[in-house]
């Protein structure tokens, strides 16, 4: 077995696409599900042919989804976390709090939230 992708339900497909593009994702396909929904598939460069993120827009949904207490986050490795945050800030994306480490000498990390409130961990990696 292997992990193929993660799926989120979103309220505004274009707004979510713009957010994930700011994180480096690229659209690799869209599939309409009848008149009920649209699935947008995204990859990071180097992910190969399989999409890693599926964003689902249910056309009749107008109320925010309950993310629930079980959801944590997805994590993305970034080369220089300060440079990444500077670029994201220019696009209106701010971290929940400044980068920090969990232990002495550990990797610096921080979290951002997408337009629907899903948290994404950014991990500084060289």
d(CA 83, CA 89) in angstroms, rounded, equals 10
Q: Which of 91, 31, 73 is nearest to 55 (CA)?
A: 31
Catalytic residue among 26, 27, 54, 121: 121
Secondary structure (DSSP) of 75-91: EEEES-HHHHHHHHHTT
Listed in sequence order, the DSSP H helices in 10-67 are 13-22
Classified as helix, coil or strand, 56 is strand
The verdict on whether 121 is a catalytic residue reads yes
d(CA 112, CA 2) in angstroms, rounded, equals 26
Residues annotated as catalytic (active site), given as ranges: 121
């Amino acid at each position: 077995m292997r992990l193929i992708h993660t799926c989120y339900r979103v309220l505004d497909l274009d707004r979510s696409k713009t957010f994930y593009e700011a994180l480096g994702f690229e659209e690799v396909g869209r599939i309409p599900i009848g008149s009920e929904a649209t699935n947008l598939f995204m990859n990071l460069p180097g992910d190969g042919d399989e999409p890693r993120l599926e964003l689902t827009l249910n056309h009749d949904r107008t109320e925010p989804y309950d993310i629930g207490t079980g959801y944590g986050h997805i994590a993305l490795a970034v080369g220089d976390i300060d440079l990444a945050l500077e670029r994201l800030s220019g696009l209106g994306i701010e971290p929940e709090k400044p980068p920090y480490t969990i232990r002495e000498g550990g990797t610096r990390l921080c979290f951002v939230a997408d337009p629907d409130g899903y948290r994404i961990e950014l991990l500084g990696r060289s």
